[in-house]
Amino acid sequence: MYTLEQLRSGKLKGITHLTLSEQLTQFPTEILTLADSLEVLDLTNNQLTHLPDSFSQLTKLRIIFISNNCFTELPPVLGACPNLEMIGFKSNQITTVTANALPKKLRWLILTDNKITDLPEALGDCIYLQKLALAGNALTALPLSMSKLINLQLIRLSANALVAFPNQLLDLPKLAWLAFSGNDFNRNQQVNNPLPYVASTDYQLNKVLGQGASGVISLAQWLSNPHQLDNEIAVKVFKGQVTSDGYPQDELNACLKTGAHPNLVASLAQVNEPNYLALIMALIPAHYHNLGLPPTLVTCTRDTFPAQFTLSIAAIVTIVEQMIAVINHMQAQGVAHGDIYAHNVLVDDNANILVGDFGAASIYDDLALEQQQKIAAIEWRAVGYFIEDLLSICQVDDQHTLEYQQLHTQAQHYIVG
């Protein structure tokens, strides 16, 4: 994090990455003095409403994040930036996205939590686009031209107003991570509710164990245990009304519909109170750890792993067998996880896994049969990428085994279809 004073004094000359957050209401034109070097610009958490036409002077800029500002339009000048690949304007007040706001090299577009009602047909010309986040807008339909997005791998459409499922996405050759809950076409889904209700006063939250886009998970202890559930529990308290993946209630519904499986984090109870939604879960044993790390700005949609972390082919086979069992179970319930990644998997030293994080999950068994089949194939493609990612960290001595080759072939089958 830098300061406006440092920028104006010339002390930042030559930097490649600039972050400024000082409740700015005007774009600091001094940023343009960094045109020869600036590649990443982060102006999140300010009060900006527009970018000047001179912004296109930043010819080396590749990445821009201006979330939590006051834009009502995706700035058209972005389309004039020759090397811009990643754009993030989450949580503004954007209603308008025009064709000339889309750079030719666009690879990553985040417009979550705005007020967008429609998108330009020119979006389909962004053939390098890999990641598109549109949850929490007011979209009623998607451009038919999106059928041309041959490199799109991840799309978030939850919490919009789509009146019909966007069929133009179903045959995209690389799409693997798809979320679409909370739209008009599926807003009235009925989900059987097997979990008991408890009150938020029945337990006490203690240490935070982790948090993601949709909520915070904490270690908790019962103050009153009305249903005589497990003594050791964790509680996920959902964030707000809408997250980067959709509505918290849809996540809870997908979790309830999926039900129990040995390789899923066990759900025990729920809390549904005004402005407070939570899921009570069995406490995961301490010897489990995250299998992977989330994607980076470089990898975009593919997971990463700690340096020097490897797995034996035997461990990978065991992990994959369990993941396949999870997906088969979920598809039998008509639920797509939407976020099959190593970073959403917990593993122990014996390669036993637990899959969690239903933030991007979608219920689809009320759609037409052909749509269901294609959604299932998209989910299997994510499994193929998951297998590829694990094979990338396979121990060197195991990379010439029959099991390695079989898994590689299986991954390609899932990916290609």
Q: State the Cα–Cα distance between residues 179 and 246, nearest whole angstrom.
A: 8
Are residues 360 and 182 in contact, defined by beta-carbon separation less than 8 angstroms? Answer: no
* CA dist 40 → 33, 43, 68 (Å): 14, 10, 17
Are residues 323 and 209 in contact, defined by beta-carbon separation less than 8 angstroms? Answer: no
In 163-311, where do the E strands start and end?
177-179, 203-211, 215-222, 233-238, 267-273, 276-282, 289-290
- Among residues 152, 44, 153, the alpha carbon closest in space to that of 90 is found at 44
Q: State the Cα–Cα distance between residues 264 and 319, nearest whole angstrom.
A: 13
Q: State the Cα–Cα distance between residues 3 and 53, nearest whole angstrom.
A: 23
Determine how many CB atoms are found less than 10 A away from the CB of residue 38. 23
Beta bridge mates, 65: 42, 88
Q: State the Cα–Cα distance between residues 131 and 110, nearest whole angstrom.
A: 8
Helix (H) or strand (E) holding 76: none
Dihedral over Cα of 293, 130, 155, 351: its sign = negative
- Give the ranges where 70-177 is alpha helix by DSSP (H): none
Is 239 labelled as part of a ligand binding site? no
Determine how many CB atoms are found less than 10 A away from the CB of residue 396. 7
Q: State the Cα–Cα distance between residues 238 and 236, nearest whole angstrom.
A: 6
Are residues 380 and 351 in contact, defined by beta-carbon separation less than 8 angstroms? Answer: no
Determine how many CB atoms are found less than 10 A away from the CB of residue 415. 18
- Among residues 132, 399, 363, the alpha carbon closest in space to that of 258 is found at 363
Are residues 405 and 378 in contact, defined by beta-carbon separation less than 8 angstroms? Answer: no
Are residues 262 and 248 in contact, defined by beta-carbon separation less than 8 angstroms? Answer: no
Residues marked as binding?
Answer: 236
Residues marked as binding for ATP?
Answer: 236
